[in-house]
């Protein structure tokens, strides 16, 4: 039987997270991800991570959060909405919705740090670490285990009431909490994401060949040129890609965020001609503290030219 004090602590902790602006909160027990170990090993062996060599590092830490935080007992998974009220125009260089506003790493880390400090004030000194798409943490798998959604055929976490346009974050800590139960898979027979992917990156349901994903090609791949096999296939996407989310039926339930830091930057309204006329110094100014900084000017210029020169 679960103690009343443990129930109260878990509820209090979740209430604090909701008050901090997170949309959903779930708890998992810190343990080795036994089911994920062979899947990750096979994914790496097949080279589906492309040139993201860092994915080969810290294999044990990816699978066991207790190697990241001494004495870890719980993983608190949190989701933060980034769905914009208005999408881009269809006749321009496309930017993934998560990159419309300021860099989410900075925005969410600040919220997590403040939240962790609140936890310590309420529950005593806590040994914990915060993670936002950083360090070797299998965030989607932990979010799934904590009941925040299921991993869809596009490999993204999907929430039954709100879809998949969410950033995921974690607090791994040494306090005991009541774990939540996973939910079922509601993809059913739908294959819209697989059918819509123009580069065949979804090798099979629930399996992503990241080396073919437009997001990988336009962000992670640092080569001077995008491989010729993808010419004419990126459908105007020059930074990331939302195709598999746009066609997902569950995203009809997506609601606009209310985070001022994610207010669309001016470059969202740029025409293709605006992008082509852009100079490096101006690019640095307009993308400062946004996700687009990651590609740097050389990468973004490569993506834009590839998009413009190889459209069918």
Q: Which residues are catalytic?
A: 133
3-state DSSP assignment of residue 41? helix
Cα 41 to its chain centre, rounded Å, is 21
Which residues touch 228 (CB under 8 Å, ≥6 apart)? none
**CB 147, CB 188: distance < 8 Å:** no
Q: Report d(CA 160, CA 304) in Å as an integer.
A: 35
Nearest-CA neighbor of 74 among 145, 4, 181, 175?
A: 175
Cα 118 to its chain centre, rounded Å, is 25
Q: Report d(CA 45, CA 191) in Å as an integer.
A: 26
**CB 68, CB 129: distance < 8 Å:** yes
**CB 165, CB 76: distance < 8 Å:** no
Q: Where do the DSSP E strands lie in the chain?
A: 24-29, 74-81, 94-95, 128-131, 150-151, 157-158, 166-173, 202-204, 207-208, 237-239
Q: How far is CA 260 from CA 104, 105, 214, 241, 290, in A?
A: 12, 15, 28, 23, 14
Nearest-CA neighbor of 87 among 293, 264, 273?
A: 264
Nearest-CA neighbor of 226 among 217, 213, 235, 214?
A: 217
**CB 10, CB 177: distance < 8 Å:** yes
Which residues sit opposite 75 in a β-bridge? 28, 172
- What's the N-to-C CA distance of the chain in angstroms? 63
């Amino acid at each position: 039987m679960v103690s009343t004090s443990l129930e109260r602590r878990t509820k209090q902790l979740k209430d604090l997270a909701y008050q901090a602006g997170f949309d959903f909160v779930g708890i998992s027990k810190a343990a080795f991800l036994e089911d994920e170990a062979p899947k990750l090993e096979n994914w790496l062996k097949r080279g589906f991570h492309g040139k993201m060599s860092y994915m080969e590092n810290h294999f044990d830490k990816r699978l066991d959060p207790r190697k990241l935080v001494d004495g870890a007992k719980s993983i608190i998974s949190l989701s933060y909405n980034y769905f914009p009220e208005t999408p881009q125009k269809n006749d321009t260089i496309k930017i993934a919705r998560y990159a419309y506003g300021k860099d989410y790493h900075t925005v969410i880390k600040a919220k997590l740090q403040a939240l962790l400090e609140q936890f310590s004030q309420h529950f005593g000194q806590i040994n914990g670490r915060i993670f936002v798409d950083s360090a070797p943490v299998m965030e989607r798998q932990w979010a799934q285990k904590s009941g925040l959604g299921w991993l869809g055929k596009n490999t993204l976490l999907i929430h039954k009431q709100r879809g998949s346009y969410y950033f995921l974050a974690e607090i791994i800590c040494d306090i005991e909490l009541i774990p939540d139960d996973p939910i079922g898979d509601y993809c059913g027979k739908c294959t819209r994401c697989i059918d819509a992917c123009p580069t065949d990156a979804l090798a099979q349901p629930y399996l992503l060949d990241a080396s073919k994903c437009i997001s990988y090609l336009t962000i992670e791949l640092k080569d001077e040129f995008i491989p010729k096999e993808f010419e004419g296939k990126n459908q105007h996407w020059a930074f990331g890609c939302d195709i598999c989310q746009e066609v997902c039926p569950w995203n009809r339930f997506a609601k606009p965020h209310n985070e001022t830091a994610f207010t669309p930057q001016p470059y969202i309204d740029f025409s293709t001609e605006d992008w082509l006329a852009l100079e490096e110094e101006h690019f640095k100014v307009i993308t400062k503290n946004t996700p687009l900084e990651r590609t740097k000017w050389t990468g973004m210029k490569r993506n834009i030219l590839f998009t413009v020169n190889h459209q069918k």
